[in-house]
Amino acid sequence: MMSSSLGTTFYLEMRDFASFRSSVCPAGFDISLVKASDHHLNRKFYAAIGAEWNWTDRAGWSEDEWRAYADSNLIKTFIGQVNGDDVGYFELASQEGGEIEIVYFGLLPEWIGRGFGGALLSSAVEQAWQLTGTRRVWLHTCTHDHEHALKNYLARGFEVFKTEPGE
Say if CB 159 and CB 139 are below 8 A apart.
no
Q: CA neighbours within 13 Å on the CB side: how many for 84?
A: 0
The 10s digit of each residue's pLDDT in 67-119 is 999 999 999 999 999 999 999 999 999 999 999 999 999 999 999 989 899 99
Name every residue whose Cβ is closer than 8 Å to that of residue 113 and which is 6 or more positions away in sequence. none
Q: What is the CATH number of the domain that holds 112?
A: 3.40.630.30
For 44, the domain range is 9-164
As to burial, measured by CB atoms within 10 angstroms (0-12 exposed, 13-18 middle, 19+ buried), residue 91 is buried
Domain membership flag for residue 2: no
The 10s digit of each residue's pLDDT in 47-61 is 999 888 888 889 899
pTM recorded for the entire structure: 0.91
Domain membership flag for residue 71: yes
Domain membership flag for residue 1: no
Confidence of residue 6 (pLDDT cuts 50, 70, 90): low
**Count of domains observed in the chain:** 1
Give the residue among 80, 74, 87, 71 at the shortest CA–CA distance from 131.
74
